[in-house]
Amino acid sequence: MTLFRPTSPRPVRPRFRRPAEGAPRIAAAVLAGLLLTSCGTPGAGPGAPPSALTGPPTSAPSSAGAPTQVGRVPTTPPPPPSSAVGSPSATATTSPACSAVVARLSLREQVGQLFMVGVPTSGLTSGTARTLSQTRAGSVILLGNTGAGSAAVARLVNDVRDAGRRPEGVRTLLAADQEGGLVQRLKGDGFADMPSARTQGTWSAQRLRSSAEDWGRELRRAGIDADLAPVADVVPRRLLAVNQPIGVLRRGFSSDPAVVASHSAAFVEGMDRAGVATAVKHFPGLGAVRGNTDLVTRVVDTSTGRHDADLAGFRSAVRAGVDMVMVSSAYYSRIDPGSRAAYSPVVITGMIRGDLDFTGVVVSDDLAAPGVRDLRPGSRAIRFLAAGGDLVIVGDPGRLAAMSDAVRDKAAADAAFRTRVAESARRVLAMKAGRGLADC
The C-alpha angle with vertex 389 and arms to 354 and 121, in degrees rounded to 5, equals: 130
294 Cβ contact list (under 8 Å, min separation 6): 37, 39, 41, 51, 52, 53, 54, 55, 329, 365, 366, 369, 370, 371, 372
Which one, of 427, 350, 372, 276, lies nearest residue 85 by Cα?
A: 350
Q: Is 438 left (phi over 0), alpha (psi -120 to 50) or beta?
A: beta
Domains in the chain, please, with CATH? 92-434 (3.20.20.300)
The string of pLDDT tens digits covering residues 222-232 is 999 999 999 99
**Closest CA relative to residue 133, chosen from 108, 103, 104:** 108
Instruction: Count how many residues are written for the chain.
Output: 440
Among the listed residues 171, 120, 93, 117, the one whose alpha carbon sits nearest the alpha carbon of residue 361: 93
Which has the minimum average pLDDT: 5-14, 245-254, 307-316, 376-385?
5-14
Burial (CB < 10 A; 0-12, 13-18, 19+), residue 83, is middle
Helices 400-413 and 126-135 meet at what angle, rounded to 10? Answer: 10
pLDDT in tens, 107-166: 999 999 999 999 999 999 999 999 999 999 999 999 999 999 999 999 999 999 999 788
Amino acid 190: pLDDT: 98
Q: What is the pTM of this model?
A: 0.82
Count CB-CB contacts under 10 A for residue 45: 12
Predicted local distance difference test score (pLDDT) of residue 88: 35
Residues 187-244: pLDDT tens digits? 999 999 999 999 999 999 999 999 999 999 999 999 999 999 999 999 999 999 999 9
What is the rounded distance in angstroms from the CA atom of residue 272 to the CA atom of residue 289? 31
Contact between residue 58 and residue 75 where contact means Cβ atoms under 8 Å apart: no
- CA 92, 98, 100, 105 dihedral sign is negative
